[in-house]
Amino acid sequence: MIDFIRGKVAHLESEYVVLDVHDVGYRVFTPNPYGLARTEEPVQLFIYHHVREDAIHLFGFTTRDEQALFRRLLEVSGIGPKVALGVLAGGKPEAVVAAIQQENVNFLTKLPGIGRKTAQRMILDLKDKLGAIDASWAIASMIDPGLQNEATPSGSAPWGEAREALAGLGYRDAELDKAWIVLKDKVTGEESPDVLIKLALQQLFQG
């Protein structure tokens, strides 16, 4: 069983990266492939190794908490690997944990692939099982109004959050301003910061 993979990013698509590990390319599905694009250093992804009769897939995460949350999501009836990956792509892990702890069905139903019944099953099945992942995520959101506001995929300033993350990857203000000029007329206003990051990275790659 594969626990983690460490290698350089050789290729990326909207749903996966290819990591070069000693001249072998591993295709790894991950919530935010474009977030790994700015580094030339080897990256490490913690792996969920999914095996079924007709396919073998690797799902990768930058932290063990994300890996653990992904595994917990798979315990919920109706959630498979692709839906679980969409949940982590559509909302911050700490926001997903907080929403489950607080029984916030409205937040959960805004995540990709999650309907009301599935959201209710997530709460019922996972509310008492997330302490081992990081209970501090949920506690912080309860006592910090600012963090609680972040538990909405279409928050009041998603581009501000996306911009801050992109700046952390090394992009300059001028580059980000240019990308936003193009994007602002293409988005609906309902996109999460993670989605805006992906869209902005695509635009930045195009120049």
Copy the structure tokens of residue 73: 């999501």
pLDDT band for 138, please (50, 70, 90 cuts).
very low
> What pLDDT is stored for residue 120 in this prediction?
94
Tokens representing 4 are 């983690």
Rg (CA), the chain: 17
> Domain extents for the chain?
4-61, 64-149, 158-206
- Report whether pLDDT(196) > 60: yes
Is this model's pTM higher than 0.75 or not?
A: no
**pLDDT tens sequence across 32-88:** 888 786 667 899 999 999 988 888 999 999 988 899 999 999 999 989 999 999 899
Residues in the chain: 207
The chain-wide mean pLDDT, for the chain, equals: 81
CATH architecture for segment(s) 64-149 = Orthogonal Bundle (1.10)
Per-residue pLDDT for 21 more than 70? yes
Q: How confident is the model at residue 148 (pLDDT cuts 50, 70, 90)?
A: very low
Please check whether residue 147 is in contact with residue 93, taking contact to mean a CB–CB distance below 8 angstroms. no
What digits encode the pLDDT tens for the residues 98-135? 889 889 998 898 888 899 999 999 999 998 887 666 54
Q: Is the dihedral of CA 100, 105, 107, 109 positive or negative?
A: positive
pLDDT at 161 over 90: no
pLDDT score, position 19: 95
Helix (H) and strand (E) counts for the chain? 10, 5
Residues above pLDDT 70, as percent of the chain: 83
Q: Are strands 43-52 and 55-61 parallel, antiparallel or unpaired?
A: antiparallel
Q: What CATH class has 4-61?
A: mainly beta
Distance CA 59, CA 16 (A): 9
Nearest CA among 30, 61, 56 for reference residue 44: 61
What backbone phi and psi angles, to 5 degrees, belong to 32? -140, 75
Q: Let me know: does 56 contact 67? Beta carbons within 8 Å.
A: no
